Amino acid sequence: MSYHSIVMVKQVPDTANISGQVMKPDGTVNRSKLPTVFNPEDKVALELALQLRDRYGGTVRVVTMGPLKASDLLRDCLYMGADEAFLVSDRRFAGADTLATSYVLAEALRKLSPYDMVFAGRQAIDGDTAQVGPQTAEKLGLPQITYAEGILQAEGSTITVKRKIDKGFEVLEGTLPLLITVIKDAAVPRPFRAKRVMAYKNAHTLLELEKMAEANSLLYADQLKEEYVSKGLFIPTFTADDLDVDLKRCGLGGSPTKVHKIESVVLGASEHETIPANKDGMYALIDKLMEDHIFG
């Protein structure tokens, strides 16, 4: 039996390569100054979905909510082998916390149903909340398996998943359709495939086509769209108008999370302590690090 999967992916700031100017004076992040990357665990989630397709057949679609720039991420998904990609984007969705994000994504998934499985990374490296996957499942009434480190097998409407727990793993069975969040160790993402990269390098979202039209008075977005659809290079975009959403539940307005304050914490060497180089010293060091929440 073949399975149809949807992978929820996110473009995140490349936290490994942060330069100056990324923090605005008001404490929020200046995203335009940040290099972006494919959220690592989402990439693993896509890999797992592709492996499932390699094994059982079916399709893999990806969906992301984000601004214009997120179009890059969707092309990356096509390069890896995703069959179709969808952008969910609207100014009215901006500033969403996990509650408002999962609300919109759940509505987008309703549009994309039917499906057998929804995959997502456990968490994104920018917020580290690990909430969007579970909240989306909740809203759709889907069973969920979080922290998946592998799919052991799928048979009929039952899937067997290996799930990481504190001191080992457990093996769970779930009934489809269901949502799975994936941890980094689950798989090594495959490289981009050369032929797909060449074929899809000019695939564009509606937002990108609109931008092209804005920049050139001879181009019209609807004509461009037609042209790109006919070439198989159009990445569909859902706006608030395309989804059955209550705008009060979207974006900043729909987000109960309020950022109180962001501090830049610099761990300076204000004092130093000599720890004897013996067993007791080691234990003392570990205790100290635990106390400061550097360990544990």
Partner 1 sequence: MANYFTENTDLLFQFDRLQLAEVVEIAEQGYTEAAHYDFAPTDYQDALDNYRKVLEIVGDITANTVAPQAAAVDEEGSHFAEGRVTYAAGIQEALKRLTEAELMGFTLPRRYGGLNLPTTIYTMAIEMVSRAEASLMNLFGLQDIAETINKYGTEEQRQEFLPQFASGAATGAMALTEPDAGSDLQAVNMLAYQDDSGQWRLKGVKRFITNGNAEILLVLARSEAGTKDGRGLSLFACYGKDDVKVRRIENKLGIHGSPTCELQFNDTPAQLIGKRKFGLIKYVMDMMNGARLGIAGQALGISQAAYEEALSYAKAREQFGKSIYNIPVITNVLMDMRVTLESDRSLLYAACHWVDLRNKLEEKIESLKAAGKDASAENAKLKEATRAAALLTPMVKYVLSENANKITYDALQVHGGTGYMREFNVERLARDARITNIYEGTSQLQIVAAIGGVINDIFADFFSAREEKENPGNLANLADELKEMRALFLDCLKYVTDKTDKHFQSVAAKELVELYSYLYTGWLLMEEAEQDNRKVFIARRYIINAATKARRNAEAIKKDLFGDLLYADDVLV
Distance (Å, rounded) from C-alpha 147 to C-alpha 171? 11
Q: Rounded to the nearest whole angstrom, what is the least distance from the CB of residue 248 to partner 1 in the complex?
A: 40
Q: Rounded to the nearest whole angstrom, what is the least distance from the CB of residue 235 to partner 1 in the complex?
A: 15
User: Helix (H, G, I), strand (E, B), or coil: what is residue 133?
Assistant: helix
β-strand partners of 168: 165
Q: What HEC string does 188-247 produce?
A: CCCCCCHHHHHHHCCCEEHHHHHHHHHHCCCCCHHHHHHHHHHCCCEECEECHHHCCCCH
Burial category of 284 from C-beta neighbours within 10 Å (exposed 0-12, middle 13-18, buried 19 and up): middle
User: Helix (H, G, I), strand (E, B), or coil: what is residue 72?
Assistant: helix
Nearer residue to partner 1 within complex by CB, 74 or 137 = 74
Nearer residue to partner 1 within complex by CB, 167 or 195 = 195
Nearer residue to partner 1 within complex by CB, 157 or 202 = 202
Positions in the binding site for partner 1 (CB under 8 A): 37, 190-199, 201, 232
CB 25 within 8 A of CB 74: no
Q: Rounded to the nearest whole angstrom, what is the least distance from the CB of residue 202 to partner 1 in the complex?
A: 8
Under 8 Å CB-to-CB from 97, ≥6 apart: which residues?
255, 256, 257
Nearer residue to partner 1 within complex by CB, 198 or 247 = 198
Under 8 Å CB-to-CB from 72, ≥6 apart: which residues?
11, 36
Nearer residue to partner 1 within complex by CB, 152 or 188 = 188
Element housing 49 (H / E): helix 40-56
Q: Rounded to the nearest whole angstrom, what is the least distance from the CB of residue 17 to partner 1 in the complex?
A: 9
Nearer residue to partner 1 within complex by CB, 71 or 146 = 71
β-strand partners of 231: none
Q: Name the amino acid, one letter, at 12.
A: V
Distance (Å, rounded) from C-alpha 115 to C-alpha 61? 10
Nearer residue to partner 1 within complex by CB, 47 or 210 = 47
CB 234 within 8 A of CB 228: yes
Q: Rounded to the nearest whole angstrom, what is the least distance from the CB of residue 29 to partner 1 in the complex?
A: 21
Q: Rounded to the nearest whole angstrom, what is the least distance from the CB of residue 74 to partner 1 in the complex?
A: 16
CB 183 within 8 A of CB 163: no
Q: Rounded to the nearest whole angstrom, what is the least distance from the CB of residue 14 to partner 1 in the complex?
A: 8
Distance (Å, rounded) from C-alpha 23 to C-alpha 36? 15
Q: Rounded to the nearest whole angstrom, what is the least distance from the CB of residue 199 to partner 1 in the complex?
A: 4
Nearer residue to partner 1 within complex by CB, 51 or 239 = 51
